[in-house]
Structure 1
Amino acid sequence: MAATSDHPRLSVVIPLYNKAGQIARALDSVRAQTVRDIEVIVVDDGSTDGGADIVQACGDARVRLHRQPNGGVSAARNQGVALSRCPLVAFLDADDAWHPDHLERLWRLRLAHPGAVGWATNYEIVEPDGRRTPGVRSETAPHVVLTPENFYRIALQGSPVCSSAVMVDKEALLEVGGFPVGVRLGEDLDTWIRLLFAGPIVFDPQPGACYHADGDDRALVRHAPPARYVFFDTGEAWRRAHPQATQVGRDMEEFHNFFRISHAHHQIKWGDKAAGRAVLKACDTRAFADERRRLLRMSLLPQWAYQGLTRLKRALRPPPPAPAPLPPEPGATAPASRAYP
Structure 2
Amino acid sequence: MNLVETHSNPDVSIIIPLYNKGQYIARALNSILAQTHQNFEIIVVDDGSTDNGPEIVQGYTDPRLQFIRQANAGPGEARNRGIRESRASLIAFLDADDEWLPTYLAESVQQLQAHPDCAMSAFGRFLGSDRTSWEAECQRFGVTEGEWRMPINLDGQSTKQIIDFFHPGAIVCRRQVLERFGGFYTKNGCNYGEDVYLWVQIALNYKIYRNPTPLFWWHTEASEISAYSTRKIVPPWPMLSDPQPLRMDCPPEYHSALEHYLTYLAVIAAERCIRAGDRGTAEQLLQNYPVAQNFLGDYLKLQVHLWLMDSPGLRDRLRQVKSLVRS
2:35 counterpart of 1:33: yes
Tell me, yes or no, if the aligned pair for 1:161 and 1:192 is still in contact at 8 Å.
yes
2:208 counterpart of 1:201: yes
2:166 maps to: 161
Residue pairs, 1:31-180, within 5 angstroms: 31-124=33-126, 126-127=127-128, 131-134=132-135, 136-138=138-140, 139=142, 141-147=144-150, 149=152, 155-159=159-163, 160-180=165-185
Q: 1:275 and 1:61, CA in 2 relative to 1: closer, same or farther beyond 3 A?
A: closer
Q: 1:190 and 1:220, CA in 2 relative to 1: closer, same or farther beyond 3 A?
A: farther
2:291 maps to: 284
Tell me, yes or no, if the aligned pair for 1:118 and 1:202 is still in contact at 8 Å.
yes
| Structure 1, 108-117 or 254-263: larger mean CA deviation | 254-263
Number of aligned residues: 296
1:225 maps to: 235
Cα distance in 2, alignment partners of residues 287 and 101 from structure 1 = 41
Q: Which amino acid aligns with 2:258?
A: M
Tell me, yes or no, if the aligned pair for 2:143 and 2:211 is still in contact at 8 Å.
no
Gaps of 5+ in 1: 304-341
Cα distance in 1, alignment partners of residues 159 and 46 from structure 2 = 31
- Structure 1 residue 44 displacement after superposition: 0.6
Q: 1:192 and 1:97, CA in 2 relative to 1: closer, same or farther beyond 3 A?
A: same
> What's the secondary structure of 1:36's corresponding residue?
coil
Tell me, yes or no, if the aligned pair for 2:125 and 2:216 is still in contact at 8 Å.
yes
Cα distance in 2, alignment partners of residues 23 and 214 from structure 1 = 15
TM norm structure 1: 0.73
| Structure richer in helix, relative to its length | 2
Cα shift readout 1:12-46 (whole Å, capped 9, x = no counterpart): 11111122233222222212211122111111111
Q: Which amino acid aligns with 2:265?
A: F
Tell me, yes or no, if the aligned pair for 1:137 and 1:158 is still in contact at 8 Å.
no
Q: 1:25 and 1:180, CA in 2 relative to 1: closer, same or farther beyond 3 A?
A: same
2:301 counterpart of 1:294: yes
Of the three residues 271, 278, 291, the one matched with 1:272 is 278
Tell me, yes or no, if the aligned pair for 2:41 and 2:64 is still in contact at 8 Å.
yes
Gaps of 5+ in 2: 311-327
| Structure 1, 249-258 or 12-21: larger mean CA deviation | 249-258
**Could you say what the CA RMSD is over the residues aligned between the two structures, in angstroms?**
3.4
Q: 1:175 and 1:236, CA in 2 relative to 1: closer, same or farther beyond 3 A?
A: closer
Tell me, yes or no, if the aligned pair for 2:197 and 2:238 is still in contact at 8 Å.
no
Cα distance in 1, alignment partners of residues 90 and 154 from structure 2 = 22
2:11 maps to: 9
Q: 1:273 and 1:102, CA in 2 relative to 1: closer, same or farther beyond 3 A?
A: same
TM norm structure 2: 0.76
Cα distance in 1, alignment partners of residues 154 and 54 from structure 2 = 36
Tell me, yes or no, if the aligned pair for 2:45 and 2:79 is still in contact at 8 Å.
yes
Cα distance in 2, alignment partners of residues 42 and 36 from structure 1 = 17
